[in-house]
């Protein structure tokens, strides 16, 4: 059967997640507008830096729970990388939809709000209630993908 548009774009996000170099959670994202893929992203270290896959995870070594102390992670989140790719290549994303394999964290939620993204479609959970509150206050449509 032919997939729906949401199924198609979420599958693209899932494929992007396979490039992740994070040891704890593999996340992918796809920014879409008018049924066209604008950019994709996955979580991992900044370009040219060592990956956690190669040197280990500081957060795991310090036993930091998911959803806490993001500043101690050397990686960028999938949503951040998708937004950065748009900026680097001059791709306007205002009014777009972001498909993410997991619920965005509060840091990504704030960036998504300021980028003018109108809708977030996410599949997996993430322990960050504040991000959901920010999306609600910003009137950004949230859709849990099942």
Catalytic annotation, residues: 79
Phi, psi of 39 (to 5 degrees): -155, 165
The answer to whether residues 85 and 46 touch, using CB atoms and an 8 Å cutoff, is: no
Structure tokens at 89: 């290549």
Does the annotation place 108 within a ligand binding site? yes
**Neighbour-count burial of 15, counting CB atoms closer than 10 A to its CB (0-12 exposed, 13-18 middle, 19+ buried):** middle
Distances (CA, A) of 117 to 53, 101, 124, 130: 31, 17, 19, 18
Does the annotation place 105 within a ligand binding site? yes
Q: What is the largest CA-CA distance in the chain?
A: 46
Structure tokens at 80: 């951040």
The answer to whether residues 78 and 29 touch, using CB atoms and an 8 Å cutoff, is: yes
Does the annotation place 57 within a ligand binding site? no
Q: Which residues are annotated as a binding site for Zn(2+)?
A: 77, 105, 108
Q: Which residues are annotated as a binding site?
A: 77, 105, 108
């Amino acid at each position: 059967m032919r997939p729906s548009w949401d199924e198609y774009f979420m599958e693209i996000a899932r494929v992007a997640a396979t490039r992740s170099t994070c040891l704890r959670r593999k996340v992918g994202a796809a920014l879409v507008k008018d049924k066209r893929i604008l950019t994709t992203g996955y979580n991992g270290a900044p370009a040219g830096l060592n990956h956690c896959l190669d040197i280990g995870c500081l957060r795991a070594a310090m036993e930091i729970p998911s959803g806490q102390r993001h500043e101690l992670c050397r990686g960028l989140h999938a949503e951040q990388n998708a937004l950065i790719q748009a900026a680097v290549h001059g791709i306007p994303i205002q009014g777009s939809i972001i498909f993410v394999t997991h619920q965005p964290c509060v840091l990504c939620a704030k960036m998504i709000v300021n980028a003018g993204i109108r809708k977030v479609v996410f599949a997996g959970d993430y322990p960050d209630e504040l991000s959901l509150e920010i999306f609600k206050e910003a009137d950004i449509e949230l859709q849990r993908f099942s």
